[in-house]
Amino acid sequence: MAILKILTYPEKSLLQPSVKVDTEDGAAFDDDIKKLIDDMGETMFDAPGVGLAAPQADINKRIIVYDSNATNPDNDGSIQEFTALINPAIITASGSIISEKEACLSVLDYSADVKRYEKVTVRALNIEGKKLEFDADGILAIIMQHEIDHLDGILFIDRISVLKRTIYKKKLAKKLKDQ
């Protein structure tokens, strides 16, 4: 396994929609996809984060990984297991919740409150090519929305007020200029 480089805003490729993984009738995925997924999981935990989308690692494919224990308040980080979703999509969403101090491995030194759906239903394939459909709420719903947004070329800063986004962009531009 290898640690992948995580792209950071304002990298333009983060704003591009990702391409679906060719699944050929749900067949199992090849060794390259499995290696990519393992590398993404290792990278996510190394960062550290609770989710990572392939575009963040400069891979234009609809693949995400997330910490399988992110919803477990008893996990102190010692259990590192991840779940991979191939071609995930939110098929239903309901309710409203504020994701407090949401942050992103690709948006450095910034967090904000983001309005999200409280519950989502996700459809995807697992690493064996098996079709999945599950309901998520709470932190898992937020992770699903955040990571699937990446696959659509959307960053969490695109979901905050124009004023807050402008302030962040100005601070980032100054920081990049000073480097």
Report the relative pairing of strands 131-137 and 119-125 from DSSP bridges.
Answer: antiparallel
> Is 42 an active-site residue?
no
Task: Please identify which of the residues 24, 128, 133, 147 carries the catalytic annotation.
Answer: 147
CB 146 within 8 A of CB 104: yes
Distance, CA of 41 to CA of 151 (rounded, Å): 16
CB atoms within 10 A of CB 134: 12
DSSP 23: -
By the 10 Å C-beta count (0-12 exposed, 13-18 middle, 19+ buried), 7 is classed as middle
Q: Which residues are catalytic?
A: 147
